[in-house]
Structure 1
């Protein structure tokens, strides 16, 4: 799973990234404009968003991405403890609110709760599609009961497809999600890895469920 952490305080941002990297892939941003650009790509499972940011503040970032139809869950971080601020953030489309300073375990618990509500993952941290079971805690994938070996990128790609079952993912979305904005490779790598996944899943006939949407991207579906 991929998270975006937005915080203008360099030390706190680095600490949040370090903390969350124990369980997730984490990107970061230090101001509202950068946060808006990254959030609009719609490649994150959750966004941890500071309210007081240079340029656009967290409320404005939330307002703009919600206008664009991006429904990624947002947890606000702020030193503000006023009820009016909390209500405003939630009314704009935020999903939770943590007041600084906060305990690390509280932040991790709230993120886990948000992800449970917004993703198809079960309480045992297993993401399923038909006979495919992706164990998010152990980073293992079983197909029809067989434990298969996947590289990190192959694992991330299959997980992303399963998370978005029956939805079209553009090549650019997949590239930004799996390889990141600052990757030195090109979007053509997506096709290579889709081919690798199909090859691994062919024995189980799941390769046919990874559909190419010509000129756009890919979709995992049995329809």
Structure 2
């Protein structure tokens, strides 16, 4: 899944992001409400985790604006503001769940997964398809030409990112940020290694390649042209 985390406390944000990435999810972290609203309306997410007390535009206003834009992405408020009236206010603003700090990451992850299992709404995609390649986000299954493909969690996340960007070239830096949450170059071949492993599973056993290397630029997943 791709998850948007709106949290201005760096330690808390890093803690959440690390756990979500280890669970095999793509995680974007934003520490400002205005930036979060822009990101939520520009990109497609499966779940949003939103702190109410963020600068720029508070989390309650972010979710209200997202709902006003007809975006149905499930949202869970994660905040130290935990009175009954506060929880009611959050749910009435368009939140789907409410968890107060301090919290156990295992509970947050369970709630995020529960929200993702809800029936898809509007144009949310839980099944990604390119040609005969299919990725089911709910069942966490990948098939090509009807044949099941076993992927490691990081390979699954990498494939999800590539499929969501169908037809677009994704640079090494973009993949490091979206798959590994690296906002710096670790000077390793981690991207190239995982691309090679992924290609061996989704392309090499089949006649038509879908995953393409764009020299000196990045990688692109697209149907035959």
Give the TM-score taking structure 1 as reference length. 0.63
- Stretches of structure 1 lacking an aligned partner (at least 5 in a row): 121-125, 162-168, 183-195, 208-219
Aligned-partner Cα distance in 2 for 1:170–1:63: 32
1:148 and 1:108 mapped to 2: Cα distance?
23
Q: Offset of 1:60 from its aligned partner?
A: 0.7
Give 1:166's aligned residue.
none
SS in 1 for 2:118: helix
Q: Deviations over 1:17-67 (max 9, x none)?
A: 111111201000112111111111141111100001112111111111111
Equivalent residues in 2 for 1:211-222, closer than 5 Å: none
Deviation at 1:99, TM superposition (A): 0.6
Which residue matches 2:220? none
User: Does structure 1 retain, via aligned residues, the 8 Å contact 2:128–2:164?
Assistant: no
Check 1:81–1:38 CA distance in 2 against 1; reply closer, same or farther (3 A cut): same
8 Å CA contact retained: 1:42, 1:70: no
Give the match for residue 100 of structure 1: 101
Aligned length in residues: 179
Provide the C-alpha distance between the structure 2 equivalents of 1:64 and 1:45, rounded to a whole number of angstroms. 17
Structure 2, unaligned runs of 5 or more: 184-198, 211-222
Looking at structure 2, the residues matched to 6 and 148 of structure 1 have their Cα atoms a distance apart, in angstroms, of 32
Tell me if the contact between 1:73 and 1:118 (Cα under 8 Å) persists in the aligned partners. no
CA distance in 2, matches of 1:116, 1:135: 12
Post-superposition shift, 1:155?
2.3
Higher relative contact order (CA 8 A, sep 6+): 2
Q: TM-score, normalised by structure 2?
A: 0.62
| Residue of structure 1 equivalent to 2:218 | none
User: Where does 1:91-170 land on structure 2 (aligned, <5 Å)?
Assistant: 91-119=92-120, 127=127, 134=135, 141-143=142-144, 144-145=146-147, 147=149, 155-156=159-160, 160=164
Asked whether the 8 Å contact 1:42–1:72 carries over to 2, the reply is: no
Q: Deviations over 1:83-133 (max 9, x none)?
A: 11111111111110001001111000000000000449xxxxx9587x865
RMSD: 4.1
Q: Aligned partners of 1:69, 1:39: CA distance in 2, in Å?
A: 11
SS of 2:15's equivalent? helix
User: Given the superposition, is the C-alpha separation of residues 68 and 18 from structure 1 closer, same or farther in structure 2, using an over 3 Å criterion?
Assistant: same
1:27 aligned residue: 28
Which has the higher mean CA deviation after the structures are superposed, 135-144 or 54-63?
Answer: 135-144
- Quote the Cα distance in structure 2 between the aligned partners of 1:74 and 1:128: 21
Q: What SS class does the counterpart of residue 117 from structure 1 fall into? A: coil
